[in-house]
A and B are shown apart, each in its own frame.
Chain A
């Protein structure tokens, strides 16, 4: 079966612009989480959505936002980009019925801010 699909895989933006990243979870997975990965800070949790509702949120400024659609696909948006937003953004989905916390990750979206 298809895995977690993230688009675009690579993108370059300039400071002040905004960006939208997309994530399609594994079929049947209703929970989608987003993580930011940078060399300095490692993997940091951004937010999690379940059934179109934000269930958990990490410690990021309001410029970072997300949403989930009725088909469980999720998008995250970063407004007013800063150089420090350059990172690999990883999406992960989870099948709630499994009763466990097993995340399946996508390949990520590599964002470069110039």
Chain B
């Protein structure tokens, strides 16, 4: 069965610092991987996705993620965090045309 683990429930970073959010997945075949962001009271917005090809994918808002098959990981990174990045981040896995399985999320706080 598919599963996603986001080991960090809550992370606090200073504005301007770099960020890495961890995601580990369990899936038997080549996964489709996603990162979504959710601001308070809102739905989920797609940041980036990986289907195949280059293992470093670029997304919106300056985010990137790297797929590492050997580690079953798909970590999200940003070189310099802005206060507006404070939100909850969800990693998800799912093959084509099947329901996505989401991790429990990582809440990001940004301090001045």
Contact = CB atoms under 8 A, between A and B. Distances in A.
Interface of A: 4, 6, 33, 35, 42-43, 45, 48, 55-56, 58, 90, 92, 96, 99-108, 110
A77 B94 CA distance: 26
Most A CB contacts (10 A, CB to CB) among B43, B90, B103, B104 go to B43
B96 A105 contact: no
Nearest to A6: B43
A47 to B, nearest CB: 9
Given A42-B105, A45-B100, A100-B51, A105 B95 contact: no
A48 B43 contact: no
B46 to A, nearest CB: 7
Nearest to A9: B41
Main secondary structure of the interface of B (DSSP, over half): loop
Interface residues of B, number: 24
Nearest to A99: B96
Contact of A101 (B32, B44, B104): B32
A56 B95 CA distance: 13
B96 A100 contact: yes
Nearest to B51: A100
Given A42-B104, A101-B94, A102-B49, A4 B43 contact: yes
